[in-house]
Amino acid sequence: MNTLSRRSMIGAIAAGAVAGVRKARAQDKRPIRIGVLNDPGGPYADIGGIGSVIASRLAAEEVGNTLLGRPIEVIEGDNQNKPDVATAIARDWIDTQGVEVIVDGSASNSSLAIQQVCREKARIFVMSGPASSDLTGKFCSPFGFHFTYDTYALSNGTARALVKQGGDTWFFITADYAFGYALERDATGFVQAAGGKVLGSARAPLGSTDYSSYLVQARASGAKVVGLANAGTDMQNSVKQAAEFGVVKGGQRLAALLMFISDVGALGLPTAQGLVCTTSFYWDLTDATRAWTKRFMAQRSRVPTMVQAGSYSGVRHWLAAVRAAGTLDAVAVAERMRATPINDMYNRDVTIRADGRVLHTMYLMQVKPPAESKYPNDDYTVLATTPGAEAFRPLKEGGCPLVHA
């Protein structure tokens, strides 16, 4: 090989090396993407929706919208509360769009699908929207973290309290998918454990607008309590139509097993007053929750729900774990998330168990009558406070494969 050829080859190799370095540096500066995958326009839009996107961005703002020297970008997607749609978006986000963590999840059926994708692809899933306790039970994942609430804690708080107050016979109107089944199952367990009986149930498809036939069955059952194992606009429609049917006037009590402050706003205090619910977050609990709510409402003129607060908390905790671990590697980050207590505007030294369950403090609330509400969104009275270790299902009872006896 002559000198000119050698020089040309060396030049080509050097140019290739420089190009490789430039490409690597460019990749190192790519945005770190956080994907909020939920229901922005359906029955759960007010619960999570754009509010979870705003909450996630508030968490990113607290670290200057940068992490490991790279910009942070929050993207959003609509899973339509359908497992196949959720699966397709999650795979595309991870495979082609560089999403490192998926947030919210919305309905339990779509979240179970996302959980499976994140398990296969080794990505963190911060769940704030779904309720099924199976997500930290038989379907738990080393990369799944269940924030906010679940069907066990909701039932533990509300069903047990109402049975103690004399509501010892129940009829359920249940959302006809994974979330509703889990909520009815867990509530039934607490009703029976407290000495009560379940007299029947009716299952209504997600997005139902006519609850008349189900309410007729509930009234005919003679149950003292009609348990609403649904959420969002489904729960709102149930309560409104129960009022029209005179369910409460007829002597029965309504139990909203999953109710959000957005539901109270939609129903109005005259209709919602007296309803009892369980929650991990209320905007008016402390100075810290009120200050964060002010930040949130600067971008959306509604007080945040516990799902939206949970999205913030989960993203904030993930960001802190990545920074502490110095890597985006999901195994290292998941280990750090479990090892580090959560401290934010509504959590104080809250721990995460091996099954991914975040042990929030839970509050039993009752909706105020209009005369007791002193300012906008002054909607709840705290009836009881339960530490997370008592509110959520014991670790050994969940059936999570990650938990060793």
Who wins on pLDDT, 250 or 378? 378
* Same domain flag for 253 and 307: no
* Contact indicator for 230, 175 with CB cutoff of 8 Å: yes
Show Cβ contacts of residue 260 under 8 Å, excluding neighbours closer than 6 positions.
46, 47, 231, 232, 279, 305, 306, 307
- Is the pLDDT at 195 greater than 90? The verdict is yes
Task: Check whether residue 253 and residue 377 sit in a common domain.
Answer: yes
Q: Please check whether residues 92 and 112 belong to one and the same domain.
A: yes
Listed residue (292, 294, 328) closest to 59, CA to CA: 292
Domain range enclosing 337: 32-149+286-360
Q: Each residue of 320-347: pLDDT tens digit?
A: 999 999 999 999 999 999 999 999 999 9
Are residues 314 and 217 part of one domain?
no
Cα–Cα dist 85/98, whole Å: 18
Q: Is residue 236 one of the residues assigned to a domain?
A: yes
Please say if the pLDDT value at position 90 is more than 50. yes
Same domain for 156 and 144, yes or no, is no
**Do 263 and 291 have their domain in common?**
no
One domain for residues 138 and 165: no
Scan for tokens 């229901």, then name that residue.
39
Domain count, the chain: 2
205 and 72 housed in the same domain? no
- 186 with 91, same domain: the answer is no
pLDDT interval class at 1 (50, 70, 90): low
Task: Tell me the pTM.
Answer: 0.89
Question: What would the mean pLDDT of 174-197 be, rounded to a whole number?
Answer: 94
Is residue 253 domain-shared with residue 380, that is, in the same domain?
yes
Note the pLDDT tens digit of each residue in 342-361.
999 999 999 999 999 999 99
* 215: in domain: yes
Q: State residue 173 phi and psi, 5-degree precision.
A: -110, 115
Kindly report the average pLDDT of the chain as a whole number: 92
Above 80 in pLDDT, residue 5?
no
Residue 8 lies in a domain: no
Quickly state the pLDDT bin for 249 (edges 50, 70, 90).
Answer: confident
State the residue for tokens 């729960």. Answer: 235
Residues 247 and 378 in one domain: yes
Please report whether residue 1 resides in a domain.
no
Q: Does 174 fall in a domain? A: yes
- The share of the chain scoring above pLDDT 70, in percent, equals 93
- Please give the average per-residue pLDDT across 199-209, as a whole number: 95
CATH of the domain at 111: 3.40.50.2300
pLDDT for position 248: 86
Please check whether residue 62 lies inside any domain of the structure.
yes
Q: Is the pLDDT of residue 11 over 60?
A: no
Which of 369, 370, 349, 371 is CA-nearest to residue 360?
349
Segment 49-75 shows an average pLDDT of 98
Short-list 147, 92, 182, CA closest to 344: 147
Residue 115 in any domain: the answer is yes
pLDDT digits (tens, 9 = 90+) for 366-391: 999 999 999 999 999 999 999 999 99
Residue 26's pLDDT band (cuts 50, 70, 90)? very low
Question: Computed from CA positions of residues 394, 397, 403, 405, in that sequence, does the dihedral angle turn out positive or negative?
Answer: positive
**pLDDT at residue 143 in the model:** 98
Same domain, 340 and 244: no
- Give a yes or no: residue 70 inside a domain: yes
